[in-house]
Structure formats: C-alpha cells, structure tokens
Structure 1
C-alpha cells in the first residue's frame, strides 16, 4: 500500500512539473518532444531506483542510485518551488490576458515576440530550476562533507564524581550502502578517534544491506579507539535486511559490542554507571522488540543509567524506568528542509539535548544520509557528550 501511494504521488509530481517546466514554456514541436522524453526518462530512472531492488533480483548499485536519488531531490525542490510560485502566477493572470496578442502563434518566435503567458511560464520555471538545483547542490556538498564534531556538556544527578569529564562519542545513521562505502566509515572512525573519547556509542542505522555486500565497508570500525570500548544498538534499517544476526556477529568480530536488550557496568576505580541498550522498535516485526525489563535488569538504582535507543520515541518508557540519559538518532535532524517540520511533529526531539521529566534525551543528526544524498538545514554530526555530576 505504501509503495502504491508513493508511486502515485511521484507520478502526479512528475506530471505537474512537466506541465509547468515543459508544456507551459514551449511550443508544440521538437523541443517539447525532447524535453518530454527527458522528463519521462527521469521518472523511469527514479521508479527503477526506488522500486527496482524491491521487486527484482537486481541489487541496488551506485551507478543507478546516484542519478536516481539526486533527481529525487531535484524533483522535490522543483515541486516545492513551483508551488510557492503558484500564487504569483495566478495573481498575474490578468496581466497575461491583457498582453496576449491576437496574432497567430508561430512555432519558434524570437524572444521579442513571446507573449506574456510564455514569458511568465519561462520566468517561473527558470526561478524554480535555479532554486532547486542550487539547494540540491548545497545540500549534496553538506551531506557528503565531513560531519560536524559537536561538544555537548551533560550533567547527571546520579553520576559519581569520579566520572566527571567522561566523554561519550555518539554517532548514528551512518547508512552504509550503495552511496556510502568504506571511505565514509574510515573518515568517521578517524574523526571519532581524534576526539579521544572514553566510550563510543553507535546508535543504529549503520547499514542498508547485508554483511556480504557491506562487510568490507564496515571493516574500519575495528580501528575505533576508546578506553571503555565501542557499543552498538540496532536501528530500524538493521531490520530491513533479511537477517540482522550476521551483522551483530560481524560487529563483535570488529570489537564493537552490541547491546541487545542488555546492560553493562562502566567502571572507574570503585565508581560505576550502567550502560544499557534496547533493540529498535522495528524489531517487533521479527519477534525481537525493545525489552526494557531485560535491558535494565540488575542496574543499580543508586547510580546513573545511560540508555542507547535508536528512536527518540522510546523516551517516555525510558523516563518511566528512571533512565538518566537516552542517546538516540533516527531523525537525521530532518535531513532536508522543510521535511524537518514533519519529523519534528512525530518525534519528541529533532536534534540536540532536551529534558523529558527527569530524563535527558540527546538526539544526533547522524553522520550519513538516507535516500537523496542531500542535507539542507541539518548537517551531519558526530557528538561528544562530556558527563559531569550534578544538576
């Protein structure tokens, strides 16, 4: 049903964009035919990119994904720009009617003879095209550039003062796949190691494919360096592949410890805090749901608890259980404006640090992207949380 709805929306979007950019701006003839064929080809490319791997045995590959997803982003911003300009076009209808000549239309008139309707259509089309291509270019440069390294101080009331200055490097939504590979992982590992963190938390959506396809791309994770180790919890994309278990075994081989509804004590001398992790809510479809009872079994109520949970929506249950700090990702910070407003409406937090009753929630914007390789208004990040005792 979702695929049917998405396909219908994309088809209507292509028809609308074709009308405004091709039909309204050209005369019948060769030019319009060429542009119509090009638009039809772009629509077929996007359909193949989005739906081909789901209905055929053809694996998603970079040579198809790059142009397909970039067109997806351009189409989205073209649609948005044209809709924004629509009131302007409608407001100028009277001016267009007054200026339309009575003379017959010739196939390719010189610019001086263009009637006002075509002039207005071409002007709005050009404005929409420049705006959309500019935004996608800027967004691609942001998405493919190095993540920001954010320094975030966090105070926890139950944290033992022995952990003052303890640094947790948080990274989420790396999204290894046809567009992001080994070099992406190598850069993230290098940047995390440069932070000199005490502990690394990878909070889900590491991969968009199987170990056989992406194991080589994830291999640099074995070079992560931190005093207390690296830990991982599943995201929803880990459940989009056929079997999640091989990835958990592969991560253990890399020296990254999955927390599968379980916890471990992090110690410094005689002091400790509890680090717990829950499976993503998408695991419910596989009989592997988040289980707070198991994840928090045996934690010491006198000391701080830090929870790794991919989706921020689990914060209410974390707060009910007295968790001090939840570390999440999933939102991508919205990834592309104005999509942030939709994400913000369905998540308790879009990005950054917030308080939910007595529990603090930190949401990373993620270090990768999903779908179009574009980020507008939501740059990628690696966050370093520095813990201190007190409120």
Structure 2
C-alpha cells in the first residue's frame, strides 16, 4: 500500500501576497508590543537568595539591583525619575547601579541622570561602570559625575565592608569586561585588586556589568584564593528583541536570570535591565525590571 501526502491548494499555503501580509502584520504587532513594553512602569522582580554561612545579622538584608538605565536620547529625566520613585518605594538596605547608567556625552545628557541623586537606602548607593560609559565621554569625567552629582559610591576594582550588628559583609565592584580588550589608561578588570579589602572568610557580593565578566571572575577566584557568594550583572537585556535574541543567547553563557556555578557554589543573577539600548523596544514588559533581592542565611533558614 502506498501513501502520499496531499498537496494543499488553499491560498493559506500558496499565496505569496497573503504570506507577505501576515509577515508584515506580525512584525508590526511585535514592534508595537515592544514599544508598549518600555513605556509601562518598571516591573519589580522579587528574588530571595540563600547564602551559605551568611551571618544571621544579615538575614533579610535587601539589595536593589538596577542595570542598563541608558540615560540618553530617548531616556530622559522623567523616565529616570520614575526609576528612582520605584526603587525608593522598596526601602532597600543598599542600592546597586550596575553599569550602562548613561549613553552619551555628559554635557548633553548629564542633567537627565540627575534624579538618581535622590536614591535613598540605609547603607549606601553603589555604582559600577558598564561598556557604554566608555563609548563617548572621557570615562573619568563620568566617574567624577557619578560620585559628585549622583552621590554614588563607585566601586571600580574596589570593595567596601558593610557592617550590621557587629558582623561584616563585603561588596566589591569591578571595571567593565570591555576594558579587557579596549585600552584605557588606569582602567582594566582586576579581580585581585577589587577583593583586596575583603577578608577571605566573610560573605562577598560582586558587581560586574557584563556576564562575560562574571564568567571571568569565576575562573580567577580559585587562583587567587577568594570566594564570591553572589555576582550581580546586566548588559544582555535578556536579548531585548526577538530578531537578535538567538545571537545574544549564543554569545552569553549567562543570559538572563538566576544561575549557580556549582564548582564554587557561587550564584549569578543577570538582570534584563530597567530600560533598553538603541530602539525603544523590548520583547515583554516584564523584562524592564528592577530587582529586589533579599539575601538569606542558611544558619537561620533550616
């Protein structure tokens, strides 16, 4: 007995014009949805992270992670002020602004970023550099602006010790992974330097804009005898657009979300960012995120 697949003659399967119309309508629908996604109020992503041997005094310590604000041509003062309002409503212990805060020249867009000076937290507001800070302005001009005008404590291959009820937690930040290949005087990722002020026996959180930089940190930590409990990154925008998502997925081991590096039990969270880069579109509104993290101690949670 022979079987054959029938040839379908319907216009649904054979009409070039219909296929073109369907493609155009689908593309327009995705673009419109993408525009709407970046115009709504940022999504608050709640995340509880259990850390081994975290001092009980830091159980429930809250961190707000904001990445990829991209203040620039289409991200003005109003949108930045909205980010500040949402962040402050979370009443965090610390705020971390992890790279790509701005996208342009300080003289043109610096004023648009100034609402960030109103960020409020109990233990401090901390910033690191992203790759886009390097693209236009002299990088040291941006660093000075972030410190003096936005009141951000910049962690560039540097760390600080946070104290709570007599116990300590280290927060370290690195220069951006972009500096591995691009040559800028005085700027290059340096894991050893970033962790010099962190005692080896205390819980440590690292800020690094690019997840590729996070991967490099994970490779270097055992070589220098340090451990990190958590690395916070951004940069990828979760792929941002359907058209480029496959390429971004292939280029990044850590694309978006919560990962565990089993060799050292280090956790990585890659944020999709609160805004976008380039065209003001994103695949879905939930990917315009502000991340509210509570770190929990395994000494308390049994």
Larger radius of gyration between Structure 1 and Structure 2: 1
1:310-321 maps to which residues of 2 (within 5 A)?
A: 310-319=209-218, 320-321=220-221
Per the normalisation by structure 2, the TM-score is 0.87
What residue in structure 2 maps to residue 364 of structure 1? 271
Q: Is residue 257 from structure 1 mapped to residue 143 from structure 2 by the alignment?
A: no
**Structure 1 residue 225: Cα displacement:** 0.4
What residue in structure 2 maps to residue 272 of structure 1? 168
Q: Which runs of 5+ in 1 are unaligned?
A: 1-90, 97-115
Distance in 2 (CA, whole Å) between partners of 1:125 and 1:314 is 42
Q: Which has the higher helix share?
A: 1
**Structure 1 residue 298: Cα displacement:** 2.9
Distance in 2 (CA, whole Å) between partners of 1:293 and 1:340 is 33
What residue in structure 2 maps to residue 188 of structure 1? 83
1:280-299 maps to which residues of 2 (within 5 A)?
A: 280-284=176-180, 285=182, 286-287=184-185, 288-299=187-198
Deviations 1:243-267 (A, max 9, x none): 1111111111221111110000011
**Structure 1 residue 345: Cα displacement:** 1.8
- Report 1 or 2 for greater relative contact order, CA contacts < 8 Å, sequence distance ≥ 6: 2
Distance in 1 (CA, whole Å) between partners of 2:109 and 2:24 is 36
Q: Which has the higher strand share?
A: 2
Q: CA RMSD, aligned part only?
A: 1.9
Q: Which runs of 5+ in 2 are unaligned?
A: 1-6, 222-226
Judge conservation of contact 2:158–2:197 (CA < 8 Å) in 1. no
Say which of 290, 297, 301 aligns to 2:200: 301
Q: Is residue 216 from structure 1 mapped to residue 102 from structure 2 by the alignment?
A: no
Distance in 2 (CA, whole Å) between partners of 1:334 and 1:169 is 22
**Structure 1 residue 125: Cα displacement:** 2.1
Judge conservation of contact 2:62–2:92 (CA < 8 Å) in 1. yes
**Range moving further from structure 2, 313-322 or 244-253:** 313-322
Deviations 1:18-72 (A, max 9, x none): xxxxxxxxxxxxxxxxxxxxxxxxxxxxxxxxxxxxxxxxxxxxxxxxxxxxxxx
Deviation beyond 6 Å, 4+ runs, structure 1: none
Tell me the number of residue pairs that the alignment of Structure 1 and Structure 2 aligns. Answer: 278
Q: Is residue 350 from structure 1 mapped to residue 255 from structure 2 by the alignment?
A: yes
